[in-house]
Structure formats: structure tokens, C-alpha cells
């Protein structure tokens, strides 16, 4: 196997939220790595911790414990000053560009903001104007739009601003949190193509979070499947679709509305009680909904194990 060039390694990452009803285990002991220039897809149903994982990696939510090794250094040990400099390398593209953009900022101001915060250019200088035009061109925004406001633009153009803001500092790693799910279907493909072109051009590494399994299959090198804060399966994208091993992954893939040539199966409906992410009990979190569960599943915690090269699963029965 190609050893690859690892850029990010997440080790036993936890993010718990204190809630009135107890500790909510939003991300619970998640480990994986990504090689430079690759895309790791993150899937799992609503509330399983995808956004929290992405934000914890960037320290937008301060992790409870674990390590985030970026180019070999644990950024969780970085001071605020060092972390600010680090932001140049690690960025995020949000789901809803309308909510994430300041309505009072023009396209030009929105793209300039990260550069000004980092103190890289002077406001109004020729250099910053050149950089803004360059970014607009890179993400496919016509230069006549430079002084428009977000509300004057459609969803696709707004997301192009979001992408330009994320890329203007020349980052290496981007968390893409459902970057197209708020967009019209007709525009989704354009934005996904743009993101793929930019990845090639700029050698970007993506953590790509989505509900859309067809999208994730198309874009990802590897995929991780999350269930209630935990990683239940990880595999090369094609392999996951050909040979899903965790009962949860099988149920998730069976719900794809469009028939997939790699994966034909009867729809598996998930029944049974959802385990609470608040102070969860030991054992597999999926056990209560799992058709294959045996008594051990309710008692013993399970570790992710490698069942074939690059294919990991956390299930007693795999």
C-alpha cells in the first residue's frame, strides 16, 4: 500500500457538552488520519456528532480530551497566539452561506476580512484588491459582483464567497460541513465540481461531512461512519459500499434512494430505542436497534478492529 503523506491524525478525540441532564458525549473517542490531498468523508444520521467532530478538530469547540496532530504537532497544546497563526492552515466551509456570512459585508469585504484579521495586508491596498480579484476569479464569481451584498446573490454565489473566504489564506486542510445541502439541487453539482477542481489545483485535504451518501461516495477516498459520537466503521469509499460490515452502515446504505450499482439490498428499517448520548452506558451504542445483537453487545465496549487492509469496524460480530 502507498504509505501516503499523513497531514492530520486525530487521536481518541472527545468532546462532551455539559447539559442540565448530564454529560452529552457528542464525540466519544474518535481516532483516524488523513493523507495530504485526500478527502475523508464523514457520514451518519443527524445528531451523531459530525459537526462537533469538525469543529473540535479546528478548536472552534475546545475538545474535552485527545489529540489533533497536524503535520506531526498536537495543536491542542498551542497557545491562543500560535493557534491564530495556525488558522491560516485549517479552515471551514459552512453549510449555510447565508447564516455564516455577515449581511452587512460586501463580497469584497467578506473575502478581505480573514486577510485583515491575520494582518497580512493593509485595508484598501493594491495588494489586497489584487488578492480579492484573484479569489473571485478562482471561485467563479464575476468581478462585477465585487460590491454586492449576500442578500443580492443566489445560494450558489453565496457559497462561492464562503469558499473564497476559506481559501484566501492558502490553507492546507478544510472541514467542509455539509457545504451543498442548503443549495438547490441544480447548483449542488456546480459547487461540488468547483470544490474538487480547487482540491486538485491547491492540493487541499478535505474532511467532508454530509448526509448525502451518493455525494460522499463520489468525492471521498476514505469514509468514516459515525453513530452516537463514535466511529463504527472506516474504509476506502468504494469498499465501504461494496462490503459494509457494521449493521448500522448496512442500514444507512440501504436507505440510499437511488439504486447504486455497487450496492443493491433490501431497505433495512431501523427500529428499537435510540440510546441517549447523555452519560451512555457501556456496550455498543447501536445494540438496542441492531437486529444481530447478542448479549455481549450490551455489556462490553468494542474497539475498532481492522478486518481487511484499511477496513476497520467496531462490532462484536464482524
Ligand X SMILES: Nc1ncnc2c1ncn2[C@@H]1O[C@H](COP(=O)(O)OP(=O)(O)OP(=O)(O)O)[C@@H](O)[C@H]1O
Out of 26, 40, 51, 174, point to the residue binding Mg ion (CB under 5 A). 51
17 binds ligand X (CB under 6 A): yes
Cβ of 193: how many Cβ atoms within 10 Å? 11
- Nearer of residues 42 and 107 to Mg ion, judged by Cβ: 42
DSSP at 95: S
d(CA 164, CA 117): 15
Q: Is the Cβ of residue 26 or residue 110 nearer to ligand X in the bound state?
A: 26
- How many helices (H) and strands (E) are present in the chain, helices listed first? 11, 12
Q: What part of residues 291-310 is at the interface with ligand X (CB under 6 A)?
A: none
Q: Are strands 90-93 and 173-177 parallel, antiparallel or unpaired?
A: parallel
Minimum gap (Å) between residue 55 Cβ and ligand X: 8
Q: Which does 47 bind (CB under 5 to 8 A by kind): Mg ion, ligand X, none?
A: ligand X
d(CA 26, CA 245): 23
Query: Quick check: 55 and 64 in contact, CB under 8 A?
Result: no
Among 10, 43, 51, 161, binds ligand X (CB under 6 A): 51
Nearest to 262 by CA among 277, 285, 240: 240
Which of 85-98 are b and which e, b meaning 16 or more Cβ less than 10 Å from the residue's Cβ? ebbebbbbbbbbbe
> Of 49-57, 58-66, 142-150, 184-192, which segment contacts Mg ion by CB under 5 A?
49-57
Q: Is 279 in the site for ligand X (CB under 6 A)?
A: no
Near ligand X by CB under 6 A: residue from 24, 111, 135, 191:
24
Is 210 among the residues that bind ligand X (CB under 6 A)?
Answer: no
78 belongs to the binding site for ligand X (CB under 6 A): no
How would you class 263 by CB atoms within 10 Å of its CB: exposed for 0-12, middle for 13-18, buried for 19 or more? middle
* CB closer to ligand X out of 50 and 157: 50
In contact, 275 and 288? CB cutoff 8 Å: yes
The closest residue (CB) to Mg ion is 51
Give whichever of 36 and 45 is closer to ligand X, judged by the CB atom. 45
| Size, binding site for ligand X by CB under 6 A | 14
Q: Is residue 50 within the footprint of ligand X (CB under 6 A)?
A: yes
- In the complex, the residues that contact Mg ion under the rule CB under 5 A are 51
Amino acid at each position: 500500500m502507498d504509505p501516503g503523506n499523513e497531514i492530520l491524525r486525530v487521536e481518541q478525540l472527545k468532546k462532551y457538552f455539559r447539559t442540565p441532564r448530564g454529560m452529552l458525549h457528542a464525540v466519544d473517542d474518535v481516532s483516524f488520519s488523513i493523507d495530504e490531498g485526500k478527502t475523508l468523508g464523514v457520514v451518519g444520521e443527524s445528531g451523531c456528532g459530525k459537526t462537533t467532530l469538525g469543529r473540535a478538530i479546528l478548536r472552534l469547540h475546545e475538545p474535552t480530551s485527545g489529540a489533533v496532530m497536524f503535520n506531526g504537532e498536537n495543536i491542542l497544546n498551542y497557545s491562543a497566539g500560535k493557534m491564530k497563526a495556525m488558522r491560516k492552515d485549517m479552515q471551514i466551509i459552512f453549510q449555510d452561506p447565508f447564516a455564516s456570512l455577515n449581511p452587512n459585508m460586501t463580497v469584497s469585504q467578506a473575502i478581505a476580512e480573514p486577510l485583515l484579521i491575520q494582518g497580512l495586508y493593509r485595508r484598501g491596498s493594491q495588494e489586497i484588491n489584487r488578492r480579492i480579484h484573484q479569489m473571485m476569479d478562482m471561485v467563479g464569481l464575476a468581478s462585477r459582483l465585487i460590491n454586492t451584498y449576500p442578500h443580492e446573490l443566489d445560494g450558489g454565489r453565496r457559497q462561492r464567497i464562503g469558499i473564497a473566504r476559506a481559501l484566501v489564506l492558502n490553507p492546507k486542510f478544510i472541514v467542509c460541513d455539509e457545504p451543498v445541502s442548503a443549495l438547490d439541487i441544480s447548483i449542488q453539482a456546480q459547487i461540488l465540481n468547483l470544490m474538487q477542481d480547487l482540491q486538485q489545483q491547491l492540493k487541499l485535504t478535505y474532511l467532508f461531512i454530509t448526509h448525502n451518501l451518493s455525494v460522499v461516495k463520489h468525492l471521498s477516498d476514505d469514509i468514516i461512519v459515525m453513530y452516537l459520537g463514535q466511529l463504527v466503521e472506516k474504509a476506502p469509499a468504494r469498499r465501504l459500499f461494496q462490503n459494509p460490515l457494521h449493521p448500522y452502515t448496512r442500514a444507512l446504505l440501504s436507505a440510499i434512494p437511488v439504486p447504486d450499482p455497487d450496492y443493491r439490498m433490501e431497505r433495512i428499517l431501523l427500529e428499537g430505542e435510540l440510546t441517549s448520548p447523555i452519560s451512555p452506558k457501556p456496550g455498543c451504542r447501536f445494540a438496542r436497534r441492531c437486529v444481530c445483537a447478542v448479549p455481549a453487545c450490551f455489556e462490553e465496549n468494542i474497539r475498532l478492529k481492522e478486518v481487511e487492509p484499511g477496513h476497520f469496524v467496531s462490532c462484536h460480530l464482524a
